Amino acid sequence: MILTVTLNTALDLTYRVPALTPHASHRVTQVIERPGGKGLNVARVLGALGHETVATGFAGGATGATLRDLLAATPVRDELVGTAGPTRRTVAVVDTASGDTTQLNEPGPTVTAAEWTAFRTRFAELLDGAAAVALCGSLPPGIHVGAYAELIRLARTAGVPVLLDTSGEPLRRGIAARPDLVKPNAEELAQLTGAREPHRATRDARRRGAHAVISSLGPEGLLAATPEGLWRATPPAAVKGNPTGAGDSAVAGLLSGLVDGTSWPDRLTRAVALSAATVLSPVAGEFDPAAYEELLPRVKVTELPVPS
């Protein structure tokens, strides 16, 4: 099975409005509720691809109860740890005229020392039998910035490949713990390495400790620095829609290829096709299966020369 970790889960609310205008009242035409947070998004996509998937992290309060009820309707197994504080909400407002999305994210509950200890115990238990683990998203208040580095070391001790998808200081400390894969976007890479040129930033990030670094370039695809070489994967054309969750779908594609033992070009192809199919989906964070199958053979993967 694949284990995903979402320390800062969320109840995702998507509002669709005809047009989003500042300082104006809006009539919402559609409301969609779903379990959210980066790791839960990854888990849901992996489940839709047919992988046995387990989700852990934190959930609490009435919002957390709603999240768990919604998660129960998916193929994902719920191994979330309870908190006294309520799970946060995130609100995506989709302007149907332009296709643009405005995102509002609450910070999350403060996690106590006892709750963190309970989570670490559950995480260590779940590593037994895991084929891979994904550590995803922001840290809620109360969790120390070295938390992901701590979890990476636990996974490495258990012999479980680990992917890290976070930003800022948790990324900086996490990458030093030598995860198998990190997937930052271009801005997160620039903050980590100080380099704005994507090729240099990706290579610099790998030298900081990660086995492989996959940089998200948004609609332009992915750039990968791996032990087998440098790769660039691009979608066949720019797609227009709601990008919410597209990066999480890319993570799911990378993990799917990892546990299936496929080549890097295949992993990158899955990731780019899933990301584009998520943008095309009418529901934020879901992917369009027909679009995914149509895009797969059209993704272009190019091996790049390794700088001397």
Contact (Cβ atoms closer than 8 angstroms) between residue 109 and residue 140: yes
**Cβ atoms within 10 Å, residue 2:** 27
57: left (phi over 0), alpha (psi -120 to 50) or beta: left
Beta bridge partners of 90: 12, 105
Can you say whether the dihedral through the CA atoms of 249, 253, 256, 258 is positive or negative? negative
**Cβ atoms within 10 Å, residue 86:** 17
Residue 156 to residue 190: CA distance in whole angstroms: 27
Asked if 266 is an active-site residue, the reply is no
State the burial class of residue 114 (Cβ atoms within 10 Å of its Cβ: 0-12, 13-18, 19+): exposed
Contact (Cβ atoms closer than 8 angstroms) between residue 153 and residue 53: no
Contact (Cβ atoms closer than 8 angstroms) between residue 209 and residue 203: no
3-state secondary structure 70-108: HHCCCCCEECCEEECCCCEEEEEEEECCCCCEEEEECCC
Q: Which entry of 248, 260, 266, 288 is annotated as an active-site residue?
A: 248
Strands 181-182 and 212-216: parallel
Task: Name the token pair of 231.
Answer: 């790769």
Catalytic residues: 248
